[in-house]
């Protein structure tokens, strides 16, 4: 399969739980053992050494050190990717954690922990940012803020691939990748999807796409 995540845009990877979104994202980042075939990302083999500073990955469960403070976590990842301490302050502001720098991560709320994890991935401004369900379990206000952050990052030139199993988040994306049962059904913009299926609700539109795919098969 080939999929395109255009520069300067947010591409949503949508599909029901268990359809293979995480596996696809892990394959793109290069941490998934792929049963067969090769994965090529940005012209190089997925997960190869040169890509490790060009592709950022945020797992669904926040992967940061719970026994360190916010700023200690970020300083460690900053030293690995080789960026300055000023950048730590910048990403802390970007994810809205200013003022919480010296708080132990384990004592933060789930949503705040998720943002520490996200901030760690933003440090070196990766060209491709792969985010696995970054808004799951967050309150609507915070979710809205994060989506604004994603679009700001895209405006700065990054390509974002964001997964979600909630169809109402599809409207936030510039491009959609629809997935079901381990297969990529199609890549389409929300507007084109609405137009072609005649459904205003993107959840209903996704159902039409599934019906059409099944009719073909």
Partner 1 sequence: MSARVTLATAHRVLLQIRHDPRTVALLVVVPCLLLVLMRYVLDDREQTFQQIGAPLCGLFPFIVMFLVTSITMLRERTTGTLERLMTLPLAKLDLLGGYALAFGLLATVQAVAVCLVGFVALGLDAPHGAVLIGALAVANALLGMALGLFVSAFAQTEFQAVQFMPAFILPQLLLCGLFVPRDAMAPLLESLSWALPLTYAYDALDRATDPAALDGALAGDVLAVAGFAAAALALGALTLRRRTA
CB of 131: closest distance to partner 1 in angstroms? 13
**67 in contact with partner 1 (CB under 8 A):** yes
**206 in contact with partner 1 (CB under 8 A):** no
Q: Which of 10, 55, 97, 162 binds partner 1 (CB under 8 A)?
A: 55
Rounded to whole angstroms, the Cα distance separating 115 from 125 reads 15
Rounded to whole angstroms, the Cα distance separating 80 from 76 reads 6
For the chain, the C-alpha Rg in angstroms (whole number) is 18
Strand order in the sheet with 183-188: 55-58, 128-131, 159-164, 9-14, 175-180, 183-188
What is residue 167's three-state secondary structure? helix
Sign, CA torsion 101/105/110/115: positive
Tell me the two tokens of residue 53. Answer: 């500073």
Judged by CB under 8 A, the chain residues 32 through 51 that form the site for partner 1 are 32-33, 47, 49
Q: Which of 14, 20, 57, 135 binds partner 1 (CB under 8 A)?
A: 57
**59 in contact with partner 1 (CB under 8 A):** yes
CB 123 within 8 A of CB 87: yes
Q: Which is nearer to partner 1, 130 or 167 (CB)?
A: 130
Stretch that binds partner 1, among 63-71, 92-100, 136-144, 152-160 (CB under 8 A): 63-71
The C-alpha torsion from 129 through 23 and 74 to 152, rounded to 10°, is 30
CB of 30: closest distance to partner 1 in angstroms? 7
What is residue 183's three-state secondary structure? strand
**# residues contacting partner 1 (CB under 8 A):** 29
Stretch that binds partner 1, among 3-11, 55-63, 174-182, 203-211 (CB under 8 A): 55-63
Judged by CB under 8 A, the chain residues 100 through 129 that form the site for partner 1 are 104, 120
Q: Footprint of partner 1 on this chain (CB under 8 A)?
A: 29-33, 47, 49, 52-53, 55, 57, 59, 61-68, 72, 76-77, 79-82, 104, 120
């Amino acid at each position: 399969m080939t999929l395109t995540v255009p520069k300067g845009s947010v591409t949503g990877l949508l599909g029901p739980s268990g359809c293979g979104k995480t596996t696809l994202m892990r394959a793109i980042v290069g941490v998934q053992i792929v049963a067969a075939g090769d994965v090529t990302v940005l012209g190089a083999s997925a997960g190869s050494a040169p890509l490790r500073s060009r592709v950022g990955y945020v797992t669904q469960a926040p992967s940061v050190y719970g026994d360190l403070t916010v700023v200690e976590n970020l300083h460690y990842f900053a030293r690995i990717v080789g960026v300055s301490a000023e950048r730590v302050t910048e990403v802390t502001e970007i994810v809205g954690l200013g003022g919480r720098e010296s708080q132990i991560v384990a004592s933060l709320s789930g949503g705040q922990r998720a943002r520490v994890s996200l901030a760690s991935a933003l440090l070196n401004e990766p060209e491709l940012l792969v985010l696995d369900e970054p808004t799951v379990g967050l309150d609507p206000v915070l979710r809205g803020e994060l989506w604004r952050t994603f679009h700001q990052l895209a405006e700065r030139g990054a390509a974002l691939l964001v997964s979600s199993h909630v169809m109402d988040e599809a409207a936030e994306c510039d491009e959609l990748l629809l997935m079901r049962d381990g297969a990529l059904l199609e890549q389409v913009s929300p507007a084109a999807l609405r137009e072609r299926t005649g459904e205003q609700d993107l959840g209903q539109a996704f159902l039409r796409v599934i019906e059409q795919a099944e009719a073909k098969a």
